[in-house]
Amino acid sequence: MQEPCEMTSRVKMISALLAIVLLVGFISLIPRSVKGQDAIEFLNGVKMQGMVKEIRNDKREFDFEVVIGGKTFLRTYAFDKVHTVTMKNQRHVVTAKKAATNSGVAGAADQELVRSRAEVQQAIASAGDSFPDWWEETKLEYPASLDLNWPLKPVGNWNSQRNMGQFIWDVVNPNPRRWNAGIKLVFQQWQAQKSDSEKNRRNMTTLGSMFFNLKQDYARAAYWFERAGIQKGSGQSVKLAESYWRLGSKPMAIEMVTNRTLPVSVIKLHGDMGNYQSSVKLANSFKKGGSTNPLIDMFLGDALRHNGQIGPAIAAYERVISSTAFKNDNYGKKVKARARDSIEAIRLLSAANVANVRDGAYRSVSTGYVSAVEVEVKVAGGRLTSVEVVRHSEKQFYSSIEDTTAQIMKHQSVQGIDGTTGATITSQAIINATAKALAKGAK
C-alpha cells in the first residue's frame, strides 16, 4: 500500500457502453479497456485488484490484468470461481456463495485455493500497491492527548489516551467501528517515522498485525509483514505463514515455520493446514527441548481435533487439565476450563450433528479469554439458519467472532473449523458453545 500520489487513478472515461446484468450467477459485460482499479473477490474470500479487460459470456470467463513492478500479468478466470466483481465502485455478485451440505463433514463442499508462488506474490504486491476500498471515506479518529511521537516504549503508567500502543489495544481493537480509522492512523505514523529504522519496522509490523487480526486481509498483512522483514521464528512469523496459506500456498507457509525457535501456536497452524503429524512432531520437539508450556498440549489438542483424531485430542486436553505449569492460578483456571469445554464438545459431536437437531433456538456457553462466551443457534429443517454470539466480554479481535460463526454456518458443522490465529481462545469458545447448544436440541 503506497502513498496516495503513487496510486493508480482512473483518468479516462469508458469509451463504450458498459452494462452489467447479473441473473442467477450469469454476467453480461461489453468488452472494454480503461485505466483504473477494479477488484475481484474469489469464492474463498481472497481479493485482488487490477482491471477487467475482456469478458467472454459464451465461455463464462473473463480476463483480469494486474500491473506489478512495471510488468503486466493477464489471467483468465471462470465465472464460477469468482464471487464478486467491483467496477467504478459498484459491487456485483457473479457467483453466490453456497453453504456446505448436511453431511457433517467439515469442508465437504469446500475446495482449497491453490496458487503458485508467483501468483501469491502477485496478489500480495497488488494489494500492497493499493488502498482498501474503505480508505478514502475513513476519517482519522483519536484523542488530542495521544502522543503521535509514539516512542518504542510507552511512557509512564498505562494510559490509552496518551500511549499509542495502549490506545490501539484498549480503544481500537475492541471496537469494530474504529478498526479502519485505527489502521489509517498507524499508516500515518509509518509515513511520519520512516527515517527511524526501529519505529519504521515497528509500524510496518503493526500494520501487518492489524490487517491480519482485524480485517483478515491476508494479502495486505503479508505485504506489511514482508516489508517489516519478519524472520522465521519471530513472534509474527506464524501469522505471515498463515497469510501465505490463506492466499493459496501451503509450501510458502511451511517454509516460514521450519525454524526451531517458533512460537507454540505453530502447532495449531499445522493442524489447520491438515498436517497434524507435523503438529505431533513439533509438540514432542518443544517438550524434548525442556518446555513445560501447557499451551503445547492445548494447541496439539486443537490440531488433532480439527483432523478427526478424537482419542489423541482428548488425551492432549487432559494433559492440559493436569498441568501445574501455568504462569498464575487465574490464567491456569481459564485454560483448564477451555480444555474441559473442548472435551465436552468432542463427546457431544454425535448429538451436535445439525441433521439430528430439532427445529428451534438453543443457547450454551463456553470459556473465553475474559469470561464466558454465549452462543445461540437456530435450526430449521435439519439446517443451521443462524449462529450468533449473544454475550461475551472479549476485548480483542472481534473479527474471530464473525469468522468463526461464518465458518460454522458454511460447514453446517462444528467439526474442522480453523479458528483465527491470535484469537484462538475466542474461536474455540464459540465452537465449543455451539456444539453444546446443538446437543441440547438433539432428537
Query: Average of pLDDT values for 132-161?
Result: 95
Residue pair 234/256 in contact by the 8 Å Cβ criterion: no
Query: Average of pLDDT values for 179-184?
Result: 96
- Class of residue 68 by CB neighbours under 10 A (exposed 0-12, middle 13-18, buried 19+): middle
Query: What mean pLDDT is reported for the chain?
Result: 81
Residue 442: pLDDT band (50, 70, 90) is confident
pLDDT at 86: 83
Helices of type H across 257-386: 266-272, 276-288, 295-306, 310-322, 329-347
pLDDT more than 70, % of the chain: 80
Residue pair 174/395 in contact by the 8 Å Cβ criterion: yes
pTM of the predicted model as reported, rounded to 2 decimal places: 0.68
> How far apart, in Å, are the Cα atoms of 253 and each of 8, 87, 117, 243?
30, 32, 11, 8
pLDDT at 35: 42
Residue pair 102/412 in contact by the 8 Å Cβ criterion: yes
Q: 324 or 37: which carries more pLDDT confidence? A: 324
Q: 9 or 422: which carries more pLDDT confidence? A: 422
Which of the listed CATH numbers 3.30.420, 3.30.70, 1.10.1160, 2.30.30 matches domain 4-97?
A: 2.30.30
* Lowest mean pLDDT across 73-77, 80-84, 324-328, 420-424: 420-424
What are the cell numbers at 278?
507435523
Q: How far apart are CA 282 and CA 161, in angstroms?
A: 41
Q: How far apart are CA 256 and CA 247, in angstroms?
A: 14
pLDDT at 341: 87
Q: Does pLDDT of 4 surpass 60?
A: no
423 SS3 class: coil
Contacts of 171 (CB under 8 A, 6+ apart): 160, 178, 182
Which pLDDT tens digit goes with each residue over 378-430? 999 989 999 988 887 666 555 667 778 888 888 888 876 765 555 567 788 88
Q: 369 or 268: which carries more pLDDT confidence? A: 268
Neighbours of 25 (CB within 10 A): 13
pLDDT at 429: 85
428 SS3 class: helix
Q: What are phi and psi of 75, to 5 degrees?
A: -120, 150
Give the sheet arrangement for strand 38-42, strand by strand.
71-78, 61-68, 47-56, 38-42, 82-87, 90-93
Contacts of 406 (CB under 8 A, 6+ apart): none
Q: How far apart are CA 156 and CA 365, in angstroms?
A: 38
Cα-based angle 285, 263, 182 (whole degrees, multiple of 5): 170
Q: Does pLDDT of 67 surpass 70?
A: no
Q: 8 or 1: which carries more pLDDT confidence? A: 1
pLDDT at 69: 45
Residue 34: pLDDT band (50, 70, 90) is very low
> What letter would DSSP give residue 80?
G
Helix %, strand %, coil % for the chain, to 5?
40, 15, 40
Strand partners, 38: 50
23 SS3 class: strand
Q: 185 or 29: which carries more pLDDT confidence? A: 185
Q: Does pLDDT of 105 surpass 70?
A: no
Ramachandran region of residue 25, left (φ > 0), alpha (ψ -120 to 50) or beta? left
pLDDT at 198: 97
Residue 316: pLDDT band (50, 70, 90) is very high
- Per-domain residue ranges of the chain: 4-97, 348-440
Q: Does pLDDT of 168 surpass 90?
A: yes
Map grid coordinates 494486474 to a residue. Answer: 66
What are the cell numbers at 153?
516504549
Q: Does pLDDT of 355 surpass 80?
A: yes
Query: Average of pLDDT values for 315-338?
Result: 92
Spatial CA neighbour of 432 closest among 362, 353, 368 = 368
Ramachandran region of residue 85, left (φ > 0), alpha (ψ -120 to 50) or beta? beta
Query: Average of pLDDT values for 433-437?
Result: 90
> How far apart, in Å, are the Cα atoms of 276 and each of 216, 283, 306?
24, 10, 9
Which pLDDT tens digit goes with each residue over 188-245? 999 999 999 999 999 999 999 999 988 889 999 999 999 999 988 887 999 999 999 9
